[in-house]
Amino acid sequence: MEWGIINKENFKNKTSYDVPIKRWDPLSTVSIHTEGFGLRKERRYYGHYSYISPIRSERPRGFKSEEGEKNFLDCSKKVLGKYKDVFSSITEGKIVYDDWGTPLSDGYTMIITQDEIRRDNPFSDAPHRIERIPDACKALTLINRYPSMARIIDPDISENIVKNLPSHLKLSRGINLVTISRYFYPSLCFNLIPMDVLAGIFLSMRAAILYCIEESINRDYYDIPVMPFFNIGTKVGGSQPRIHSQIYIDLNMDGHGSRLEGYLEAFKEMGDKCHLCKTSHGGSDRIILETEFWTFYTTGSPVRNYHIRFHPNEHIRRFSQLKVNQIEDLAISLKMIFQALDDLKIDKNRNILFNCCPYGYDADFHMFADIIPHEVIGGAEMADDMRVARKLPHIAAKEIRNSLE
């Protein structure tokens, strides 16, 4: 059931539990009543939910060993552009082998956007081999081969699965995308990725989101949460050494998580006094970097030490509304910030999470994002939406500001 496709052929000998499942936790899930948070009124929730997908465990591991990962931490090795990985067979348009003669992948893929050019339809059911990707290309957005949601389901099987699953479990529908650079750049050497490649990744993501949403709406999906993010390093979920981002597009039309509910309600309460448009972020001693288009600061309520939050200075709701000059400036700024964090010897395993207003919601929202360096967390932190941090945010900001100079 690779690529989120469930058909008669691959469902043979499988049960209703062998498909991607979405499960809302009954102890933390309640109905959405707020006007504007979605068009559909009935059976929509916010709370904690899990995607449970058996196919996720079958994805290839890009780092062969801890030693392998260490290699990618050492950015002085400069494997830039040369290293062969699981994506090489796609970008080169032919089977690429490792040094021991083993094929790195079969070269099959589905390309949603090549840079910003639309290619395969987001609901295509035909993975295929491709010709070599041109040298000038910066980034490709692909359908994730090992998704946590199903994209295309044979109607007979769908009916059968729904009948067999208990009512609190549902077959999870959605599109999982992965955006990669055309040439190999190790994600753990984030600051070494050329600006135009990083900007190319953002541009390809933006074009792919718009294409997927357009095609989803054509198929009568609405109220669609979209989550763009980077997992950089194995400790934070990045299973491939090549720089890549992901996008989760949830097509279950059944609501959103409790954290997003918190953000949506907070912006609703602010009304036209948007905190991100007005605040000086604690008298500006927490601001790290201000450009024409973006503001970076350490949050006053960090979820990790050195938790950085950033937002476009323009009050826009979604990643897909970013303009080219904002995207280019973001690429430059992120490289600088990551270099500063590297210089401070902060763990190179980091997540970048973009928080956006779902499509179809008539909610006020100011898009923002988080950079969260990896740390081991404790028990109390698993029990509630709470974190214990030791670093004072304004001190962290000062250290990063000094490191930027």
| Residue among 350 and 366 whose Cβ is closer to Zn ion | 366
Pairing label, strands 368-373, 308-312:
antiparallel
Residue 75 φ/ψ, nearest 5 degrees:
-75, -10
The piece of 118-126, 208-216, 294-302, 361-369 that touches Zn ion (CB under 5 A) is 361-369
Residues 262-291 that bind Zn ion (CB under 5 A): 274, 276-277
Rounded least distance, CB 347 to Zn ion, Å: 31
> Which residue's CB is nearer to Zn ion, number 64 or number 323?
323
CB of 99 to Zn ion, least distance (A): 51
Contact present, 62 and 98 (Cβ < 8 Å): no
The two three-digit tokens of residue 68, written as one number? 């392998």
Classify strands 5-6 and 152-153 as parallel, antiparallel or unpaired. Answer: parallel
In terms of CB distance, is 82 or 273 closer to Zn ion?
Answer: 273
Q: How, if at all, do strands 139-143 and 111-114 pair?
A: antiparallel
Spatial distance between the Cα atoms of 274 and 311, rounded to a whole number of angstroms: 12
- Residue 331 in the binding site for Zn ion (CB under 5 A): no
Question: 168: which residues sit within 8 A by CB, 6+ positions away?
Answer: 23, 24, 26
Minimum separation from the CB atom of position 287 to Zn ion (A): 16
Q: Min. distance of Cβ 281 from Zn ion in angstroms?
A: 13
> What are the structure tokens assigned to 358, written together?
């779902």
Nearer to Zn ion, 18 or 314 (CB): 314
Question: Can you tell me which residue has the tokens 């830039």?
Answer: 80
Under 8 Å between Cβ of 192 and 228: no
Which residues, at least 6 apart from 278, have a Cβ–Cβ distance to it below 8 Å? none
Smallest gap, in angstroms, from Cβ of residue 267 to Zn ion?
A: 8
**x/- letters, 290..319, toward Zn ion (CB under 5 A):** -------------------------x----
182 vs 175: CA distance, rounded Å:
22
Between 4 and 312, name the residue whose CB sits nearer to Zn ion.
312
Shortest gap between Cβ of 276 and Zn ion (angstroms)? Answer: 4
Tell me the three state secondary structure of residue 351: strand
Instruction: Specify whether the CB–CB gap between 311 and 369 falls below 8 A.
Output: yes
User: Given the complex with Zn ion, which of 277 and 388 has the nearer CB atom?
Assistant: 277
- Chosen residue from 331, 366, 372, 397 binding Zn ion by CB under 5 A: 366
* Cβ at position 337, least distance to Zn ion in Å: 21
The answer to whether 370 and 321 are in contact (CB under 8 A) is no
**CB of 349 vs Zn ion, minimal distance in Å:** 31
Of 278 and 345, which CB lies nearer to Zn ion in the complex structure?
278
Closer of 23 and 317 to Zn ion (Cβ): 317
Closest residue to bound Zn ion by CB: 274
Q: How far is the CB of 345 from Zn ion (least distance, A)?
A: 34
Nearer of residues 264 and 276 to Zn ion, judged by Cβ: 276
**At 114, which amino acid appears?**
Q
> Would you state the structure tokens that stand for residue 212, as one six-digit string?
């997927």
Give the integer Cα–Cα distance in Å for 162 and 165: 5
Q: Which residues bind Zn ion (CB under 5 A)?
A: 274, 276-277, 315, 366
